[in-house]
Amino acid sequence: MDKTHIASLLKSCDLFPIPQGVKLSYGTAGFRGDAKLLESTVYRVGILSALRSVKLGSATIGLMITASHNQVSDNGIKVADPSGGMLSQEWEPFADQIANASSPGELVSLIRQFMEKEEITIGDKKSAEVWLGRDTRPSGESLLRAAEIGVSSVLGSVAIDMGILTTPQLHWMVRAKNKGLSATENDYFENLSTSFRCLIDLIPVSGLEISKLIVDGANGVGGLKIGELRGSLSNLDLEIRNTGRDGGVLNEGVGADFVQKEKVVPLGFGSNDVGMRCASLDGDADRLVYFYIPSNSSSEKVELLDGDKILSLFALFIKEQLNALDDDDKEGKHSRLGVVQTAYANGASTDYLKQLGLDVAFAKTGVKHLHEKAAEYDIGIYFEANGHGTILFSDSFLAFLAAKQKDLTQGSEEHKAVSRLVAVSNLINQAVGDALSGLLLVEVILQHMGWSVQKWNELYKDLPSRQIKVEVPDRTAVVTTSSETEALRPLRIQDAINAEIKKYSRGRAFIRPSGTEDVVRVYAEASTQEAADSLAKSVAQLVEGFC
């Protein structure tokens, strides 16, 4: 790093002093917090993103300014790697260090050391390109400017404002750009609508009545973008509510996170919607859940179809298409299908997936861990119960499908199955969970099956569950297996938990430490709600005793 570069960094750093007493860490969702305290953090992540681009041969990097399902006064920033996935975990410690550097001198010193370690050299010519997106939060515009200044303080780096986007849109565009494909927002929309129409045309039964889908846009960017997409979806009757244009507040009493946690109707929905198929997006449209208001409900309670139900629907459909392939392919030579869940997945969903004969794997909580595990399969499907997930197709499997599609007789059942798989690979956002592409795939599959939302909900019945937080002096005293399904420390606590589990029909429980506070989370499920509550309470008491 030469004197010119150091001077550039010191000059821009003075514009964004770090707030006193604020310590942030880069998690699955990047940095997140009160928007008023984030300018210095966003500026520094701008520097990091430029260095990441330089390190990877000027590959395009994405920076998304959003706090997803958090309240509107919050904001955040996260990095999209050239693959469209999340920032490499190897760079997360560096992100933490520079975000919390207490002075410009310390910041420059950390950057210099990191550049030497990573062998990053800044040249005179354009050396980095960073695409910036933001959601609809009022604080987004000023934070985006801070990110731009951070990027441009690394000599030869260019920041490009891509405008207001959903998080998945920016991830998709970064992935497409680095693959050498057209990567505008219009390309994203065209990709969704074209692959959706292809799948609709391949539906085996014609003349099905298509009922209306009512979408809760969480008063965020997703409601705006699905409104833009609606015009090209002639086979889908959409009504969009909570777009944010009618004075509604982002994520306040609305959105996927609210519906999934509270299991009640969002604002703008009521008795007139009984029995209707409804879907909720979250604030930045990377989560999706479905719900309906049952006819016998006398309250605001809803029947929830969460990420587990979406995963099960996707897995059933994909398996059906694979079963239509010839015998050699059924053996899994080219098409190893796996599903990935976390320990928080409802046990009934896991049982259902195993009954389908699927390979069910568990990963540590956090999308980056599920994504990594799903990539081990030819087709990997992952979802968290909160509605964040997607489907990954390996390059070798897509090449196999392309070759097979050419060889098969057009119109044959096997050709249709291959064509459906190809269309799904185009429709689904393979970079990250995407509520818009996920919603379109759900709608196609329901039409393909001829199912109502109620019929879909009958795939299995969720086991009652309960979650409890237990405050502890030191959360690091609890160590779990990589899948978080069993505790390794404190010693003998897992034996005690197992003894409690045996007392309950269909009992299951686990503990895991929080990633941010001295809290241990307890999850329990059993055949009745009373039993699940009792099991959770007894496990919580064990945590208090051992910790």
Token pair in block for residue 177? 């750009």
**What would be the CATH architecture of the domain defined by 308-457?**
3-Layer(aba) Sandwich (3.40)
Angle subtended at Cα 22 by Cα 19 and Cα 24, rounded to the nearest 5 degrees: 120
The rounded distance, in Å, linking the Cα atoms of 194 and 311 is: 23
Token pair in block for residue 509? 């429980």
User: What is the domain partition of the chain in residue ranges?
Assistant: 3-164, 198-304, 308-457, 465-546
Give the distance between the most distant pair of CA atoms in the chain: 72
pLDDT at 326 exceeding the cut of 90: no
The rounded distance, in Å, linking the Cα atoms of 291 and 259 is: 8
* 68 a catalytic residue: yes
Please tell me the total number of residues recorded for the chain in this structure. Answer: 547
**What would be the CATH architecture of the domain defined by 198-304?**
3-Layer(aba) Sandwich (3.40)
pLDDT at 207 exceeding the cut of 70: no
Running DSSP on this structure, what letter comes out for residue 264? Answer: B
| Segments in 265-412 forming alpha helices (H) | 307-323, 327-330, 347-355, 367-374, 395-407
Q: What's the confidence (pLDDT) of residue 1? A: 67
Could you tell me which residues are annotated as the binding site for Mg(2+)?
68, 282, 284, 286
Q: pLDDT band for 127, please (50, 70, 90 cuts).
A: confident
Angle subtended at Cα 361 by Cα 356 and Cα 366, rounded to the nearest 5 degrees: 125
Which is it for strands 359-362 and 337-341: parallel, antiparallel or unpaired? parallel
3-164 against 465-546: fold identical: no
Mean pLDDT of 165-173: 98
Q: What's the confidence (pLDDT) of residue 124? A: 63
Q: What's the confidence (pLDDT) of residue 29? A: 81
Q: pLDDT band for 123, please (50, 70, 90 cuts).
A: confident
Q: Write the pLDDT tens digit of every residue in 487-511.
A: 999 999 999 999 999 999 999 999 9
| 221 burial level (CB within 10 Å; 0-12, 13-18, 19+) | buried
Mean pLDDT of 213-217: 98
Could you tell me which residues are annotated as the binding site for substrate?
384-386, 512-516, 521
Per cent of the chain over pLDDT 90 is: 84
Q: Kindly report the average pLDDT of the chain as a whole number.
A: 93
Ranking 11-20, 84-93, 305-314, 352-361 by mean pLDDT, the lowest is 11-20
Q: Write the pLDDT tens digit of every residue in 280-310.
A: 999 999 999 999 999 876 668 999 999 999 9
Mean pLDDT of 225-252: 93
Q: pLDDT band for 22, please (50, 70, 90 cuts).
A: confident
Q: pLDDT band for 13, please (50, 70, 90 cuts).
A: confident
Taking the whole predicted model, whether its pTM rises above 0.85 is answered as yes
DSSP 3-state percent helix, strand, coil across the chain (nearest 5): 45, 20, 40
Q: Which CATH fold would you assign to the domain 3-164? A: Alpha-D-Glucose-1,6-Bisphosphate; Chain A, domain 3 (3.40.120)
Per annotation, catalytic residue among 12, 53, 68, 152: 68
> Contact 520/511 with Cβ under 8 angstroms?
yes
The rounded distance, in Å, linking the Cα atoms of 223 and 288 is: 12
Q: pLDDT band for 126, please (50, 70, 90 cuts).
A: confident
Mean pLDDT of 449-470: 95
Q: Write the pLDDT tens digit of every residue in 47-75.
A: 999 999 999 999 999 999 999 999 999 99
Angle subtended at Cα 176 by Cα 175 and Cα 180, rounded to the nearest 5 degrees: 120
CATH of domain 465-546: 3.30.310.50
**C-alpha distances in Å from residue 422, one per residue of 236, 245, 392:** 21, 37, 12
End-to-end CA distance of the chain: 48
Which residues are registered as beta bridge partners of 278?
A: 214, 291
Q: Helices (H), strands (E): how many in the chain?
A: 19, 19
Token pair in block for residue 315? 């897995």
DSSP string, 379-394: EEEEE-TTS-EEEEE-
- 142 Cβ contact list (under 8 Å, min separation 6): 39
